[in-house]
């Protein structure tokens, strides 16, 4: 494909043959002007495996050259200089690109003609702010892939909870769950409030390998989350799961024991954070004393509130496991004491008492 000078790929949409062969260079246009706190942008800068620096410096073998445009990491001074690649993409003068949306999508229709909920740059002719929805409407159909980063962009998150005035929703709700990008991908959802840094980087790298023609499309679950990241529950990877099995439950947040009775939803939440850790493999909500509040789930936050209360299902399963857990804990305690003794033949006496039997000697 044609790559012109500078940091952008400028030209018409790639042909199907070019897309099949893979791209040498691709642009990532990241808009964090959804309803959000920018926490996902902050979080992904902490990724280490791989780091964003590895990505943009071309240190990952087999990936296309990546031109990343994210406002926090931009070397530009902002304003029109920062907006230039986004405007070029709207005009159809940049391809291929991956569109990353951070933050939930407000319903502009409920206030049509009467302002905007959130905006990104101004209309150069009128000087009026351009709503986020304006950008998504123009960029998503041209994007080679569309990635929703963080729970606000994936499922609506806090801005979309019951009683909200903005009509906020996730990107797939906005574009349609059957949306397909130029690269024939649905919206790729990477939830988390905020995202776990490597969860986003692993997903982006898979999409980039796919763009390079070196990998199949990323496997996604029915909620469009990467299967290999969100296929297991928090409980299945939690450091405290053995306490649960032994019915040894924390009564307050100072305890190292299982936190289900003080509000942990881990047994029914899809998330790999306890296994992955948060940064450099360290941390991960329940591992370090934070109850899981289900932030990667479509029903977050309403379905998990009030956050510090014991989940109803947790109450039932914790009650049912009590007799088994209490018995097993007692038996393991007895065995543990027995196993914490040295064998009686470990001594410095003149007689060998290990049971050694030289039976082949006459
Ligand atoms: S703290 Fe939560 S995730 Fe960990 S074992 Fe207990 S219920 Fe499961
Ligand atoms: S463990 Fe629970 S609260 Fe923590 S990131 Fe995963 S889903 Fe969110």
Of all residues in the chain, the percent with pLDDT exceeding 70 is 94
Q: Does domain 16-228 have CATH number 3.40.50.700?
A: yes
361 pLDDT band, cuts 50/70/90, is: confident
Between the CA of 40 and the centroid of ligand 1 the distance, in Å, is 25
For residues 327-333, give the mean pLDDT.
96
Q: Which atom of ligand 1 is nearest to 241's Cα?
A: 5
Do 16-228 and 232-340 share a fold? Answer: no
What pLDDT sits at residue 9? 41
What is the pTM (predicted TM-score) of this model?
Answer: 0.90
* CA dist 89 → 17, 29, 33, 84 (Å): 21, 9, 17, 9
pLDDT digits (tens, 9 = 90+) for 212-253: 999 999 999 999 999 999 999 999 999 999 999 999 999 999
What pLDDT sits at residue 22? 92
| Mean pLDDT, the chain, whole residue set | 93
Q: Which atom of ligand 2 is nearest to 266's Cα?
A: 2
Domain chopping of the chain, boundaries: 16-228, 232-340
pLDDT, greater one: 87 or 76 = 87
pLDDT digits (tens, 9 = 90+) for 6-20: 333 434 455 544 555
Pocket test for ligand 1, best of 248, 256, 259, 325 (most atoms within 8 A of CB): 259
Would the CB of 149 count as within 6 Å of ligand 2? no
Task: Give me the CATH topology for the region 232-340.
Answer: Cytochrome-c3 Hydrogenase; Chain A, domain 2 (4.10.480)
Tell me: pLDDT of 284 over 60.
yes
What pLDDT sits at residue 16? 47
Tell me: pLDDT of 76 over 50.
yes
What is the DSSP track for 197-255?
HHHHHHHHHHHHHHHTTSSPPPPB-TTS-BHHHHSSBTGGG-TTHHHHHTT-B-SSTT-
- Residues with CB under 6 Å of ligand 1 are 234-235, 238, 240-241, 244, 258-260, 264, 266-267, 286, 292
Longest dimension (CA), the chain: 108
């Amino acid at each position: 494909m044609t790559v012109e000078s500078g940091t952008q790929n400028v030209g018409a949409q790639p042909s199907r043959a070019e897309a099949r062969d893979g791209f040498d260079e691709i642009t990532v246009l990241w808009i964090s002007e959804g309803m959000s706190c920018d926490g996902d942008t902050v979080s992904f800068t902490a990724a280490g495996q791989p780091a964003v620096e590895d990505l943009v410096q071309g240190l990952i073998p087999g990936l296309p050259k990546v031109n990343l445009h994210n406002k926090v990491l931009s070397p530009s001074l902002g304003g029109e200089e920062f907006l230039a690649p986004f405007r070029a993409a709207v005009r159809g003068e940049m391809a291929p690109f991956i569109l990353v949306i951070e933050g939930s999508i407000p319903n502009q229709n409920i206030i049509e003609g009467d302002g905007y909920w959130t905006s990104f740059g101004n209309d150069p002719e009128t000087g009026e702010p351009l709503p986020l929805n304006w950008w998504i409407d123009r960029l998503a159909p041209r994007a080679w892939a569309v990635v929703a980063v963080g729970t606000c962009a994936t499922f609506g998150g806090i801005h979309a909870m019951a009683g909200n005035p903005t009509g906020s929703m996730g990107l797939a709700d906005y574009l349609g769950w059957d949306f397909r990008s130029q690269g024939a991908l649905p919206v790729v959802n990477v939830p988390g409030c905020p995202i776990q840094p490597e969860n986003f980087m692993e997903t982006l790298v898979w999409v980039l390998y796919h763009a390079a023609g070196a990998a199949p499309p990323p496997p996604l679950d029915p909620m469009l989350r990467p299967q290999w990241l969100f296929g297991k529950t928090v409980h299945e990877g939690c450091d405290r799961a053995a306490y649960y099995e032994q019915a040894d439950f924390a009564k307050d947040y100072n305890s190292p024991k299982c936190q289900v009775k003080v509000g942990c939803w881990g047994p029914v939440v899809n998330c790999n954070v306890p296994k992955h850790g948060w940064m450099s493999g360290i941390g991960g909500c329940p591992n370090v004393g934070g109850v899981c509040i289900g932030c990667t789930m479509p029903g977050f936050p309403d379905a998990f509130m009030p956050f510090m209360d014991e989940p109803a299902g947790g109450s039932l399963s914790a009650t049912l496991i009590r007799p088994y857990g209490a018995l097993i804990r007692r038996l393991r305690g007895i065995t543990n004491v027995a196993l914490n003794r040295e064998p009686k033949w470990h001594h410095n006496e003149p007689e060998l008492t290990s049971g050694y039997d030289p039976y082949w000697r006459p």
